[in-house]
Amino acid sequence: MNEKWLWLPDFASDLGLWEDDLVGVAPAADHVFVPYEKMANSLDDLYGLEDMSSASTVAAWGLGAFALLKNAAHRPKRQQWVLLSPFADFCSEDSEWTTENLSFIAHQTLTAIDATVNAFFELLEDELGEWQDDWLKKAKSMDPASLRLGLDYMAKNRIDSPVKTDGDIRVLFGRLDKAILPAMTLALKDFLPQAEFKERPKAGHWPPMLLF
């Protein structure tokens, strides 16, 4: 039976943009990339998604990683996790956002999707790499209701107690990440004592920079 990797995206993101690069982490495996809109409608029930329970490894980025941790009670034994730029609280004191302003921008997404996406793009536009314009174009084509679901989830949820999980967990984060600051990821150390944390000194937020 082939190894299976399932990939969960960050807010307003399409991991398929990097598919050719990302499959290189396990070339012999089957790879399943979950669309953002599909994930956004299942944030409280990720293991209800097709292929989630049967995946040998789940690689999750940003919001996807956060939601995966919130669904940890349903994690199958021996399933490995690779968490890219996860966070304990998107609206922590280390963040660019507060619960109030994130909730406000979530509300305005239905009528002003460009303003919402541009607010996040400003955090990414100076990143090393060549994917900024592709990310922006894809984000603006997404269903506004799905974008609102993701923002509401980040505004209303946090991790504030130990996450009970079985299996290996690797946490990768970039020292240059402006979207999810390293301090936001390191806050998870209190709740994931069994996980391996690794900082990428020259990486920002983009998955290929974190994995390779």
Written as six digits, the tokens of 18 are: 């990097």
> Is it the case that residue 2 has pLDDT exceeding 90?
no
**Nearest by Cα to 193 from 169, 173, 175, 211:** 169
Segment 145-157 shows an average pLDDT of 98
> Is it the case that residue 39 has pLDDT exceeding 70?
yes
Calculate the alpha carbon distances from 85 to 3, 11, 34 in Å: 24, 12, 17
pTM over 0.95: yes
Calculate the alpha carbon distances from 25 to 82, 110, 119, 204, 210 in Å: 11, 37, 31, 18, 11
Written as six digits, the tokens of 116 are: 């919402």
Residue 166 DSSP symbol: -
C-alpha to C-alpha distance for 189 and 212, rounded to whole angstroms: 23
b/e code 3-17 from CB counts within 10 Å (16+ = b)? ebbbbbbbbbbbbeb
For the chain, domain boundaries? 4-211
> Is it the case that residue 19 has pLDDT exceeding 90?
yes
Q: Which residues are paired to 169 by β-bridges? A: 81
C-alpha to C-alpha distance for 45 and 63, rounded to whole angstroms: 14
Q: Is CATH 3.40.50.1820 the classification given to domain 4-211?
A: yes
pLDDT reported for residue 66: 98
> Is it the case that residue 1 has pLDDT exceeding 70?
no
pLDDT reported for residue 164: 83
